[in-house]
A and B are shown apart, each in its own frame.
Chain A
Amino acid sequence: MKKLLSALLTASLLSLPGIALAEEPQTDLPKAEAPKGEDLPRAEPASQVQVIEGAPLGNSNVYVHIVEKKPYTNAGRHELVLYPAFAQLNAKFTTHVGVAASYAYHLFENLALQVTPLFNYVNQESAFNQELIDKGHQQAQAATALLLQYGGVAGMEVTPMYGKFAFYDGVLGHFTFVLNAGAGVGMTRIQLRPEQTTNCGPNSEDPNNPIECRKASFGATGAKFLGSVGAGFRVFLGERAAVRLEVRDMIYTARVDRINGCSYDDLSSVLTTGQPLNSSCDPNTFTNPDDKQLAKLLLKETSSDVLNNISFFTGFSFLF
């Protein structure tokens, strides 16, 4: 038993980098006498051990034990994350650019509870969608082009992988691979009319029939269930700071049957009699006079979809 303990102690000492920093590692350390038949880390002859700055790196078992050592622990810590910019990657019919923040409490080393509010300061239909309208007289269905204004999700994050990297041979970095998932609520809207800034006003193609320059107009489509799944890397800058690089899929269910509280029947009534059928519909919420007509056209066919808004998040973490 004593021999076994002695061998384990010796192997542990050899695998500790701090201990291995001795200038002459091949001398002075007690020799291990491993019992026959035991599967212990195999100590290589001193002449064959490749020593780089004192670390015995020739033994492949040493790699495993050292790579498991974490200089930064997560358990019991709080984490605040600011994402100053995230941008939609699958910007086919919609374009989103936003800002988000996140708070996480690390229950265990590999599990955290997380809350993430987000706000898309750019949320509009894509240039491709506009090209389809202009050239092909085609348009994505209302539900497919639903825009996410702001929202929040709460969930959890797991850290199944931990690693280290070196930039050339100089800078050492530590990182974790994170997976997160959550659920929440998001406020949505739909674009009724795109912004018109060219070929309008005095620059109209037909000066006798000038086109009015105007901003884009939108209609509110209400709160929708919001789900989130994501994956990414958290690269530590030190014990209390990290950079986060993540891809998140914000999933929201989209069924568009009302715009600004007005159904198709409400808008038909407003356009003919000036009064909606339901009190939830306020015609004054439409910015431009012809927005009601555009909203009615979008509601002519009730559409539904499940949207995947995949975005790349860059953020900065502060741990305390």
Chain B
Amino acid sequence: MTPLLRVASALCLLALAWPGSLRAAEPEKVVVRNRQFAVDGKLEGNLGVGLTVVNYLTDHTNLSGSLAYNFTEQLALEVGGGYALSRHTNVADAAAHEVVTADPSVQQKKVNDFSDLWQMGWSATGALRWAPIYGKLNIAAELPVHFQFYLLAGGGAGGMSRDSLVYCIGSPVNRKSATCSPSESGAADNLTPLHSSAIKPLAMAGAGLRFFINKWSGLRLEVRDVAFPDSYRVDILRVDSEKDVGAASGGDASATAGRQADSPGFTHLVFFQIGASFLF
């Protein structure tokens, strides 16, 4: 145990032992237990939009919807789907530009592709939602707002696509003005990035708050981590990759330069999600 944790534990024990601590009055307890908005046995529809919290090489805006059934006041099963609008960030574009403008026979001869470059498209998920906390808060001593705090965990599948930043196929006339971007397809000196697509399993975990507006609607604020297995190529000889014309149309399965990374890990997309919830 670190000294800091020891101090924190000692402070905690001191405060709990202090006279007057934990003097929650029983009548207040029964009042907060009385739920003005009950969800037990109700069906629920949700609509939301989520934005990735930190954008490294990709950014996503996920439009989602779900249906849920509340087995009890605390437990619900939620199935949903979504479609994410995604793109490369400026940082990714700058990195791709730096690599593609370097002469592969002189600079950056052998390169590794970037991790966490898969972009999510559609997704279908199922999750168990646990809402152990029901509360009320009082805004400016006037407006009581009822809320639930919940945790959720689940899984599913998602349609993913990936455009490499370093596996660029083609022969630029002018190396200095070369680009390697799917959005500039057809432009002079634009090389074709190696494109991959796959359906990948998803794991999902999150936490959120549902603020009740009335008996049949509410506002949801949620942070949700969607994780899926990453994959990318390493040890790519750029001289070979630029000549790999078959991979331009055949994708990653046809690529001949480099090899798949041994331990690519997982990609995490952390969304801050805001949405509306409707109870039936």
User: Could you mark each residue 115-138 of chain A with 1 if its beta carbon is under 8 Å from any beta carbon of chain B, else 0?
Assistant: 000000000000010011011111
Evaluate contact between A132 and B139: CB separation under 8 angstroms. Answer: no
Tell whether, in the assembled complex, residue A138 and residue B21 are in contact, meaning their CB atoms are under 8 Å apart.
Answer: no
Is B36 located at the chain interface by the 8 A CB criterion? yes
Q: Which residue of B lies closest to A64 (CB)?
A: B144
Cβ contacts under 8 Å, B23 to chain A? 71, 238-239
Q: Mark B132-144, 1 if CB is under 8 A from A, else 0.
A: 1111111111001
Of the candidates A82, A135, A169, which one forms a contact with B112 in the assembled complex, judged by CB atoms under 8 Å apart? A135
A12 at the interface (CB under 8 A from B): no
A226 to B53, CA, bound (A): 23
Give CA–CA (A173, B99) in the complex, Å. Answer: 56
| B8 cross-chain contacts in A, Cβ below 8 A | 82, 84, 316
User: A66 and B91 in contact (CB under 8 A), knowing A135-B112, A316-B12?
Assistant: no
Q: Contact at B21–A55, with CB atoms within 8 Å?
A: no
Secondary structure call for the B interface: mixed
Complex interface bits, A7-44 against B, C-beta within 8 A gives 1, otherwise 0:
00000000001101100000000000000000000000
User: Are the C-beta atoms of A318 and B114 separated by less than 8 Å?
Assistant: no
| Contact-size category for B | 35 or more
Complex contact A67–B54 (CB within 8 A) = no
Binds A, one of B24-32, B39-47, B77-85, B243-251: B24-32
Question: In the bound complex, what is the Cα–Cα distance between A50 and B112 (angstroms)?
Answer: 68
B263 within 8 A of A: no
What is the bound-complex CA distance between A318 and B8, given in angstroms?
Answer: 10
Asked whether any CB of chain A lies closer than 8 Å to the CB of B197, the reply is: no
A residues near B141, Cβ cutoff 8 Å: 68, 162
Given contacts A89-B54, A237-B22, contact A17 B12 (CB under 8 A): no
Q: How far is the CB of A120 from chain B (nearest CB, A)?
A: 14
Q: What residues of chain B lie closer than 8 Å to A172, measured between beta carbons?
A: 24, 28-29, 32
Residues of A near B133 (CB, < 8 A) are: 165-167
**A241 to B137, Cβ gap below 8 A?**
no
Q: Which residues of B contact A18 (CB under 8 A)?
A: 25, 27
| Interface size classification for chain A | 35 or more
Contact B149 A90 (CB under 8 A): no
Q: Which of B152-179 contact A (CB under 8 A)?
A: 165-166
Given contacts A55-B27, A167-B132, contact A132 B95 (CB under 8 A): yes
A319 cross-chain contacts in B, Cβ below 8 A? 15
1/0 contact string of B1-39 vs chain A (CB within 8 Å) = 010110110011011101011111111111111101000
Which residue on chain B has the smallest CB distance to residue A140?
Answer: B91
Across the interface, do A66 and B28 meet the contact criterion of CB distance under 8 Å? yes
Assembled-state Cα–Cα distance A80/B220 (Å): 33
Residues of chain A contacted by B28 (CB below 8 angstroms): 17, 66, 69, 71, 164, 172
Chain B 106-135 near chain A by CB (<8 Å), digits 1 or 0: 001001111100000000000000001111
A131 to B94, CA, bound (A): 13
Are the CB atoms of A238 and B18 closer together than 8 Å? yes
Interface flags for B92-106 (1: CB within 8 Å of A; 0: not) read 001110110010000
**A:151-208 near B, CB below 8 Å:** 160-169, 172-175, 177
Query: A166 and B4: CB pair below 8 A?
Result: no
**What's the nearest-Cβ distance from chain B to residue A39, in Å?**
16
B44-71: CB near A (< 8 Å → 1, else 0) gives 0000000001111000000000000000
> Which 10 A-B residue pairs are closest in the complex by CB-CB distance?
A17-B27, A165-B135, A163-B137, A238-B21, A241-B15, A136-B95, A84-B4, A53-B30, A238-B22, A239-B20
Q: Which residues of B contact A (CB under 8 A)?
A: 2, 4-5, 7-8, 11-12, 14-16, 18, 20-34, 36, 53-56, 74, 91, 94-96, 98-99, 102, 108, 111-115, 132-141, 144-145, 149, 165-166
Can you show 12 pairs from A to B with CB atoms below 8 A apart?
A63-B136, A82-B7, A84-B4, A128-B56, A136-B166, A163-B138, A163-B145, A165-B136, A167-B133, A237-B16, A238-B20, A241-B18
